[in-house]
Structure 1
């Protein structure tokens, strides 16, 4: 039976959707389309754009710092995606067991996600440089230390958030299937890899999607922790695009072209990753 409120929503749904739809068009669709147009222009402000074709894209692809940033962000994304999801899954599995203080542990692990990326970057810069100072090193003088410093920071920030998603997934697992496996004599490894992980694929899809996109889009932590030092060797894609856009007058179009390439890359990677993990959900 349809209530009066349901009838009103069915009749006037367009009126409720319209404000959000207009805001989406004005705040995202129009700037995005205009941004793509500007990537084919040379400009210093949006009012003096001059069409130059694909020259901005040619300059972007010939920029060695951009290609290095692409490699840096790709490696960072691969490492952080694996580490975050494995550790978050393991912690979630432990905290869904009947252990004392599990709620406290959940809060503690989730807390770093509430801190802003800039603040986290400066905190970990002080901590890591304090440790590395014993070897007369610092994050700003080593590409290797800068990379692993970012890995530690990103994992520490995001593990708690992914843990919450995995906990929600584990709590919704059908207990009758797990009980049947125990009765049939399945050991812990068989239960984990044959039952729990296949049933957890929806949660794994969400978490892997978030960690992959967050890895490529990383900016504020990169800015605060290393700022690309030394010599832009620890510079990710987002930071490289910003530095290009504001490097000198006339290079705004090159920065915009890099941003479009960046969008295409992240979109393709995210769609492929989502397709792969979703297909395993169907197989499970």
Structure 2
């Protein structure tokens, strides 16, 4: 026969485990109630279509009928040996990415430096510089198409300035720079906000000490400011690289790849192949190659810049 003391000891031993089990169950239920819907949506919208796309990259499917023919690596062989437009679009996209990433970050950083000065109009300027980012790429492209075709032509007629009389969307070289101008104008404001947050965390006492020691603005920028905002540089480079590689809406609405496909970026080339030419399997093969390249480039960029952060 158990004594009251032994019963109390039994309760003391077994209750914590029972209570912990209930707590863990509540935590698990709460976790899946919050995370479950988002994870399910991510799987349905992103993961499942992604793996389906990988499968269709090895097929000859037109994207409409139910006749899906497995062709193995034939799509990739065709792209690497015969599809000249794919190679042209790929090289053009790389060129555009290099130019757009550099200019967007330089302009964004310059704007951030400007609005973090003690100016009365700094808040207004921040709003003005960020506003282009709020306009969708398609709408922005149509607006700038009107500016390049009608606005610049009118100014050129009145002033005879060569810059405004150029065939901005009618020539391959000027059309390329037209896309760059629009993309930088749209993206620099967003990058500016990230750099502003980083610049505001730079200790002012270090800058004041450097000034007392005789350092000029360029030396302060090079040796103090830029090393301390290295994490922001990593984020901005990652964003601008991914944006530039995936540029589509601005390219579509501004030039539609013209003239004569001279400005057809890779994303637009994939769209045309899959949904205009009705060669969905070939389009998916292009998209898979595109995904691997973008993932490799962005991973390498993050690795290198993160390493420089540690060294700094």
TM-score by length of 1: 0.92
Matched residue count: 278
SS at match of 1:87: helix
Q: Is the 8 A contact 1:129 1:137 kept in 2?
A: no
Shift of residue 11 of structure 1? 6.8
Indicate the residue corresponding to 2:182 in structure 1. 153
Q: Is the 8 A contact 1:69 1:237 kept in 2?
A: yes
Indicate the residue corresponding to 2:240 in structure 1. 211
Shift of residue 26 of structure 1? 1.7
Q: 1:46 to 1:203 in 2, by over 3 A?
A: farther
Q: Is the 8 A contact 1:125 1:139 kept in 2?
A: no
Indicate the residue corresponding to 1:255 in structure 2. 283
Q: What pairs up with 1:112-123 in 2 under 5 angstroms? A: 112-123=132-143
Gaps of 5+ in 2: 1-22, 157-161
Shift of residue 140 of structure 1? 4.1
Aligned partners of 1:157 and 1:123: how far apart in 2? 12
Q: 1:38 to 1:165 in 2, by over 3 A?
A: same
CA RMSD of aligned residues (A): 2.0
Deviations 1:257-282 (A, max 9, x none): 00111111111111111111111111
Deviations 1:183-234 (A, max 9, x none): 3332211111001000011111111111111111000100011001111111
Q: What pairs up with 1:180-219 in 2 under 5 angstroms? A: 180-219=209-248
Q: What pairs up with 1:72-151 in 2 under 5 angstroms? A: 72-130=92-150, 131=152, 134=156, 138-151=167-180
Aligned partners of 1:278 and 1:49: how far apart in 2? 44
Indicate the residue corresponding to 2:61 in structure 1. 43
Q: Which of 199, 219, 226 is equivalent to 1:170?
A: 199
Larger of the two Rg values belongs to structure:
2
Gaps of 5+ in 1: 1-5
Aligned partners of 2:286 and 2:50: how far apart in 1? 14
SS at match of 1:246: helix
Shift of residue 59 of structure 1? 1.8
Deviations 1:150-198 (A, max 9, x none): 0110011011111111001101112232233233332211111001000
Q: Is the 8 A contact 2:274 2:280 kept in 1?
A: yes
TM-score by length of 2: 0.84
Q: What pairs up with 1:44-59 in 2 under 5 angstroms? A: 44=62, 45=64, 47-59=66-78
